Amino acid sequence: MPITDLLERNSKLYGDEVALVELNPEIQEEPRVTWREYELIQPTSSVPYRREITWAVFDEKANRVANLLLKRGIRKGQKVAILLMNCLEWLPIYFGILKAGAVAVPLNFRYAADEIEYCVKLADADVLFFGPEFIGRVENIVPSIGSERLLFFVGDSCPSFAESYAEAVANCSSTAPKVLIEDTDDAAIYYSSGTTGFPKAILHDHTALLQSARMEAIHHETTHNDVFLCIPPLYHTGAKMHWFGSLYTGSRAVILKGSSPKAIMDTISMEKCTIVWLLVPWCQDILTALDRGDLTLEGRNISQLRLMHIGAQPVPPSLIRHWLEYFPNHKYDTNYGLSESTGPGCVHLGLENIHKVGAIGIPGYGWKCKIVDEHDVPVKQGDVGELCVKGPGVMKCYYHDEKATAEAIKNGWLHTGDMAMQDEDGFYFLVDRKKDVIITGGENLYPVQIENFIAACPKVHDVAVIGLPDQRLGEIAAAIIQVKQGMTCTEEEINEFCKGMPRYKRPRKIIFAPVPRNATGKIEKPKLREQYCGVRLVEAQIERV
């Protein structure tokens, strides 16, 4: 069935129950008597800006969007782009697009004007919904896209070159349109994160979206009584497909605008969240705040929080061990995936396998995995090769890119570009991106392994390892290290710590600098290579024999 059926079912079964909450701690307002009791808030204090909608209202808003698009001539299969920060309007607009039989095209809120133009044109989008944060960027490209496309502004004070979304949907019917949607119909185009080059357009059908919803609920044992805290951007498959677990079970979700340790822990307490998905940087920040005493768990309601899971990038085992020192009763899961596989979950650790922290896990619900060499031949168990996955969530194609599609999908298997190995128990371990492997003096170095080791150093907040050109060895490993706030660290200290690694794996250059990560938490290694490759750096004092 199409994923829109889940929304309509929830509207019928749980119509009066809250579906979505938007919370913005950066905006404070006076408490209202209609709000539920908050244990941490005194009656006279201000509270975070908060909005909520029920499942019935969610469905009605989506129907209005669908009928607006149909009224303006948008037909089944046409593309509609979304350029919004996380907000209460985001998901109703997304589902309204799907209900019209159209294809939703979420866009990264960090895109510059030329990237927005490129992605809108690549996807053949006929409509763009955008928010106030993007007025300047969209206005810059109106001459090249405006005359050919409908532009709807979501917010107050609509600019002259667009139409007001609120006014446009006001007179549209809240009844579901009569559009026949099949499981195999195109549903959404997601763009790759761009960490390995300019983003590609990834096309998925309704079967893939439904698979991710069912899989998320099964993996994390989501029930109707759970409350999911959603912090990452909704344009990305990670946040969206994790929220699909809430959609599948008809449970409540909280969209938090902000990611400070205090905002996260306050929201968990006030909204009684039971599941939270964190990116590595946010997890690091929470632990650092707890270690420093800037954040305390006392007085906060966190006993109901049963699950913390992480995805989007490799997770240092030391980080999870540290987390469990503060939250010993939490269940934990690691989720591996790609936008090409409908986001996280094609491989996952599993709630019962915390003893295998460090692994990305086992094949997810409905998925198969294998590891192959450069000739597409399966490698021996324990050897490193490219991870391939197969299942109902594999993309249909890279839109308008037959060559890239043929390179990525072979006989139904998606070649991930990630290097991995499988241990004797059948658990998969991510070694690194295929393009990130460093070849030094004929030896393959896998940066993730080095990063995981250095991340355990008590003074290290974040670390990235890249290859730098070397005349003698071809490449050498360089570690970019972000030191914890308030601490100092020297090259000698890092080199001494790294003596716990085999000599050939130790980084030969140490750089103390911020580690850039994108909106989904991935280290932006192309940016680091551009910054440091070819630049003369101070060589770390590493003992050589």
The predicted pLDDT at position 502 comes to 77
Q: Is the pLDDT of residue 9 over 90?
A: yes
In whole angstroms, what is the distance from residue 113 CA to residue 144 CA?
11
Q: Where are the domains of the chain?
A: 4-326, 442-532
| For residues 4-31, average pLDDT | 91
Rounded average pLDDT over 404-411? 94
Q: Look at residue 48 in the predicted model and tell me its pLDDT.
A: 75
Higher pLDDT among residues 343 and 223, named by residue = 223
Does 40 have pLDDT greater than 80?
A: no
Locate tokens 């994108």: which residue?
Answer: 518
Helical packing angle, 261-270 and 280-292, nearest 10°: 90
Does residue 174 register a pLDDT over 60? Answer: yes
What is the mean predicted confidence (pLDDT) over 170-175?
A: 96
Residue type, 412: G
**For residue range 90-142, what is the model confidence (pLDDT) as tens digits?**
999 999 999 999 999 999 888 889 889 999 999 999 999 999 999 999 999 99
Residue whose token pair is 């995995």: 369
Q: How many CA atoms lie within 13 A of 510 on its CB side?
A: 20
User: Which pLDDT belongs to residue 542?
Assistant: 31
For the segment(s) 4-326, the CATH number from 3.40.50.2300, 3.40.30.10, 3.40.50.12780, 3.30.750.80 is 3.40.50.12780
For the ranges 191-195, 300-304, 521-525, the one whose mean pLDDT is highest = 300-304
* Whole-number pLDDT of residue 314: 65
Residue with token string 């499981």:
183
Residues 6 or more apart whose Cβ sits within 8 Å of residue 169:
61, 64, 65, 68
Write the pLDDT tens digit of every residue in 143-171: 998 778 999 999 999 999 999 999 999 99
From first CA to last CA, the distance across the chain in angstroms is 64
- What pLDDT is recorded for position 471? 67
Share of the chain above pLDDT 90, in %: 65
Residue partners of 289: CB distance under 8 A and separation at least 6 = 261, 262, 295
Predicted pLDDT at 467: 87
Residues 292-317 pLDDT 10s: 999 999 989 899 999 999 876 667 78
Q: What is the mean pLDDT of the chain?
A: 88
Side-by-side strand order, sheet with 460-470:
460-470, 474-483, 509-512
- Examine the pLDDT at 530 and tell me if it is beyond 90: no
pTM for the full predicted model = 0.82
- What is the share, in percent, of the chain residues with pLDDT greater than 70? 90
What's the pLDDT score for residue 441?
63
pLDDT tier at 39, thresholds 50, 70, 90: very low
Q: Which CATH superfamily groups domain 442-532? A: ANL, C-terminal domain (3.30.300.30)
Q: Are 418 and 385 a contacting pair, CB within 8 Å?
A: no
Is residue 197's pLDDT more than 60?
no
Confidence band for 448, pLDDT divided at 50, 70 and 90: confident
- Token pair in block for residue 32: 């209202």
Which CA distances in Å does 462 have to 42, 456, 512, 521? 37, 10, 10, 11
Average pLDDT over residues 329-353: 90
- Average pLDDT score over residue span 322-334: 91
389 — pLDDT class (breaks 50, 70, 90) = very high
* Confidence (pLDDT) at 34: 42
Residue type at position 35: W
